[in-house]
Amino acid sequence: MKHFLRVLTQFFVFLYCKCLWRTLKFVIRKVTGRCELQRICYNNKPGARRTLKIESSLRFSKNELLQSAVSAHPDSVEKTIDDIMTLKKINPDTNPQLGISLQASLFQIVGYRNLVLEVEKLRREPYDCENAEHEEMLLKLWKALRPETPLTGRISKQWCEIGFQGSDPKTDFRGMGLLGLHNLLYFAEHDKAAALQVLHDSLQPKHRPISLGTTSKLSKAEWEKKKFDKAIGYSFAIVGINITDLAYALLVSGALKTHLYNVAPEMPSLAHFQQTFCYLMQEFHKFWTEEDPSDIMEFNHVRAKFHKRVLKQLKNPNMTLCPHFAASDLHLVNL
């Protein structure tokens, strides 16, 4: 009986999606005189809320032109918009704002897709110590994070000072390839003060301040242990590569669309992604301090909780993970 009811429910859902919903859209268009794309553009402010609805409308359309619009080349976006206006029989002279709104959203959609491809390419490119550009980036990272300390050699235990595992950092880039190095260097150069502070705190961690309410819950033995034990630090570079993996997962899954559609007026770029990484690094550092783990083995647990929190934030279509970059030249805007 339960199986029959489940099948019956699925049938009605299918019927609604395939027939009733399309009929309802047809009726609404006749009543309002506007197609679905017009209603979305006129009823939603610029940003993620509008672009996500436009993307969904195009992607699930039965028309091949509309379906292919989300995969358009950036150079053909304007022509694609003209084709959509013609298909929908919308006069651009009497609806000038519609074309502008659709174009901005479509640039965001195709830009996000291209950004995923660009990030994936960097992730798949392995660090090559025979490549002069790769080596130069690595040395720039050292100089940015240890400006007053000369590196004694390319292979050196000094790399552990900025959070690599051994004498040769190239082995730590295996998981994220060049993407990890690009992100770390961007953080060190474009938000240097924050990067140096996070590095310093990771080497000399302190317990977060314990509130009176928390103190009352601790036994005397626990209080004494907390009072005298050293807080747990972490390896800056290794965590940076790990947070790169987290940012990559958010991007590929589409979760970052909310943020990037809100901060990039047109096409999201690699710099937008790298600024998001910088924000996540700073926020994870704060989260780690708040969690105040008793052992480095808790790292994966803390990271999972942090990932879950970010995902929850990004479910809000108005969410903007706004990093505060004094050195930024991108002028992030909350639309």
Closest CA to 55 of 111, 5, 136, 93: 111
With beta carbons less than 8 A apart as the criterion, state whether 61 and 67 touch: yes
Residues 6+ apart with CB under 8 A from 309: 287
Answer with the residue of higher pLDDT: 13 or 158.
Answer: 158
Total residues found in the chain within this entry: 335
CA 220, CA 243: separation in Å to the nearest integer?
Answer: 36
pLDDT at residue 145, as a whole number: 97
CA angle 96, 101, 106 (to 5 degrees): 130
pLDDT in tens, 102-142: 999 999 999 999 999 999 999 999 999 999 999 999 999 99
pTM for this one?
A: 0.82
Q: Considering only 26-35, 47-56, 169-178, 293-302, which range has the smallest mean pLDDT?
A: 26-35
